[in-house]
Amino acid sequence: TVNFPADVPWVTAVGGTTLRNTPPSYDESAWTGSGGGTSKFFSEPDFQKGMPSTIQAQLAGQRGIPDIAGDANPETAMVNYIFGHWTQVGGTSASTPLWAGIVAIANQMAGHPLGFINPGLYKLAASQNAQKDYRDITRGSNEVADGNIHVKGFQAAPGWDAVTGWGSPQASQFIPDLIAAMK
């Protein structure tokens, strides 16, 4: 099963990605430490019911997570200055505050709190602007293999997947589109 509280339908679940510098741009793929899957406790919320039938079959009427993703690999994620020292921080403990910051900026730009954004996230993903709002992560998985331990996990794929959700934000386009979607 997936972790609480990420599977709660009123929570925006954030998955993890990893970055690789490939000049002149960068490459982003699913991070093996990302959670994901379907809840055994919460049924599929209304905002997920508009996804394609192939995804609906995978969800089997249950809440699927994550909704979205961001850089979470400790080797490529956030640098923090804590107690007089620089340190790198990763995990979804890095990607979730990244999204919280993006939503805080959206709240500021809107001039009011946007509130429960999950329906807006899925509305944007179904729009013609989806490729401008989200960077769709289509490579990698959250499979874990370490010695005798092997956890199959899920594969990143086009559209929504159980590793990176709809993908990572293209913030400059995403923020105004989210504000519009929440009206």
| CB 169 within 8 Å of CB 70 | yes
Nearest alpha-carbon partner for 134 in 91, 168, 178: 168
Q: What is the pLDDT of residues 69-108, one digit of tens each?
A: 999 998 887 888 889 999 888 888 889 999 999 999 999 9
pLDDT at residue 1 above 70?
no
Q: Residue 74, Cβ neighbours under 10 Å: how many? A: 17
Q: What are the residue ranges spanned by the domains of the chain?
A: 14-181
Query: In sequence order, which ranges of 61-129 are alpha helices (DSSP H)?
Result: 92-110, 118-125
Supply the pTM of this predicted model. 0.91
Assigned CATH class of 14-181: alpha beta
Please name the residues in contact with 135: beta carbons below 8 A apart, sequence gap of 6 or more. 28, 167, 168, 169, 170
> Could you tell me the two tokens for 172?
């400059």
What sign does the CA torsion over 140, 142, 143, 147 have? positive
Mean pLDDT of 144-167: 90
Q: What is the pLDDT of residue 23?
A: 76
Q: What is the pLDDT of residue 48?
A: 96
DSSP reduced 3-state for 107: helix
Mean pLDDT check: name the lowest of 5-14, 16-25, 102-111.
16-25
> Could you tell me the two tokens for 132?
């401008």
Q: What is the pLDDT of residues 116-151, one digit of tens each?
A: 999 999 999 999 999 999 999 999 998 887 878 878
| CB 28 within 8 Å of CB 168 | yes
More confident residue, 171 or 92: 171
